[in-house]
Chain A
């Protein structure tokens, strides 16, 4: 079974979110998601200052095989994007939870975090997908 860190929150669509404790969150895709996509070759990142809505598209990842949308788990404003992904999209394959983060978001409503899955909930979804 794929690595699912306890400290993160998750979406059914395989994004993870880390609460930075200062009103911002960092998001990326899970190890399981990068395995499904295969070798990543291009990342279409959002711009700093972009306004996001929960469930809206915030980035596009392209593997050799296909393009895949990354959805924002929350409402908020982009405060940083991971520029290293522009030249090294494979960082997401190599380190999906650390060096392969996608963007940081200033939350407009901290209450939204409660609606996300915890590690156990996300693992349950992976198991259900398996069967």
Chain B
């Protein structure tokens, strides 16, 4: 059984090459993945991300529950609308999923989790919530669009419902705004909810809106020359931006420290969170780290290829590419790789039995249209 978003007909009409993604029929590209990538880096594009799972956590203990459930600390969110990126860990410290949580009110938080992990996430959250005064509700009545690129906000503003245009113009980074009815009804009302967040390394918005209104809004965006972007470009954009993809760059078998995500952990004295004890030994340092690689020779690194440390003929240690691609902005191969913490400035990637030199860098590779590392 394959799911379709509220915008399926729009994708087909725009020439989308539809593929299965986590049980959803989604557009891989609309003609050229490379052109779509450049469009987002240079102007503005729109992604249908309605397949992602929106979960509302409401109730008097919403904050207490999320402080226990998540490895980052929602108590850091002091002003309404602020967003936080966090891992959700199992008791062994493995990553069940990564997510964004928005602070709507003391008794109302909204989370966005991955489509591919929907069922296990919802089960886990439900199970863990049993001893808290909270309710967990999946918002499958909402469509979600990501509008990304240097001109995304400015082009989108005038197309929004009255009242939200000005709020979006004033919106801070990693901050959300919404229609009054959303907060007043504790989320019962499926009104518009807009965050200045994204997965591309560019400025932009993520907009949740009632499904019935999504097709007309999509048409207005296209008329404003915000062009549709498929999942293919979404992956090259996020990798250039140094953002992890769940399922490849981190899984339940890896901890946040082994996935370049130590910065998302909050070690408050008095806060117990799921997985805390298991990852405590890695608080200071981890044996394995996630790094960025820029390939120095011709070729394109791909997931699961071997990384050689030291002399490639007699490597002192090995690592593995977790995701790799051709960077359309840098015009060379880039990757995220999990390698030993002791690695040196240059490593080798084994591509079809040839060892290609690669420079180790700290992600991101590209941000706000600029290449951050000279090769």
Contact = CB atoms under 8 A, between A and B. Distances in A.
Interface residues of A, number: 11
Contacts, number: 37
Q: Which of A39, A42, A60, A62 has the most CB of B within 10 A?
A: A39
Interface in A30-87: 38-39, 41-42, 44, 60, 62, 64-67
B213 to A, nearest CB: 32
Given A62-B300, A64-B236, A67-B300, A42 B352 contact: no
B34 interface: yes
Contacts of B299: 42, 44, 62
A42 B300 contact: yes
B300 A39 contact: no
Contacts of A65: 33, 232
Contacts of B326: 41-42, 62, 64
A66 B29 CA distance: 15
B78 interface: no
Interface of A is mostly: strand
A96 B342 CA distance: 46
Given A60-B352, A62-B326, A64-B326, A42 B298 contact: yes
Given A38-B29, A39-B34, A67 B325 contact: no
Nearest to A90: B34
Given A64-B236, A64-B328, A38 B33 contact: yes
B352 A64 contact: no
Contacts of A62: 299-300, 326
Given A38-B32, A39-B34, 18 more contacts: A38-B28, A38-B232, A39-B32, A42-B300, A42-B326, A42-B333, A44-B352, A62-B299, A64-B33, A64-B34, A64-B236, A64-B325, A64-B328, A65-B33, A65-B232, A66-B302, A67-B302, A67-B352
